[in-house]
Structure 1
Amino acid sequence: MSDCQGLGDCDDARMQRIYEYLDGALTHSDIADIKDHLDGCPECFEEYDLECVIRKVVKRSCTEAAPENLKSAILDRIHAIRPVEA
């Protein structure tokens, strides 16, 4: 493991600082430190890049519309398996 330029070991940086960086939860000074670190640490940059891809896929998945008939199909199934009330 390499020293993350004063940010702790790379595992700590990947687990906390990079996520804070992506979430916009750092000061301007900390952002500059993380950018500098990512430029010089391939291990952390790989983790950063992977997290960016994951976030893009999740964001895209959350914006896709469900098929129009999905709601009625789910309700039909619920009614089919729900016990009939007396």
Structure 2
Amino acid sequence: MIDIKFEIGGRRVDPRNMRDALEGAMLSAVQDGLRKKVGSCRCPDHGQAPKLLGKGRSLDKLNFEVTGCCEKVIEEVKRKLGSN
């Protein structure tokens, strides 16, 4: 399964355990959307799933970092997200 994590303001956050329910719902929606778009991505050589980390100073300033076992899986995620 694809690993999607968030870091806001330098702190790791979990959408299910946020103080602000609206922000938690927004992050959950982002997470669900990413799973739909790239959840099936696997490295064709190693069978590994990618990892995504959404980082930013605030919820509306998130940038995503994609990591994986090799460049093939990273490029596949970027292609599916339309960010080549």
Q: Greater relative contact order (Cα 8 A, min sep 6): structure 1 or 2?
A: 2
Which is helix-richer, 1 or 2?
A: 1
Structure showing greater radius of gyration is 1
TM-score normalised to structure 1 length = 0.31
Which is strand-richer, 1 or 2?
A: 2
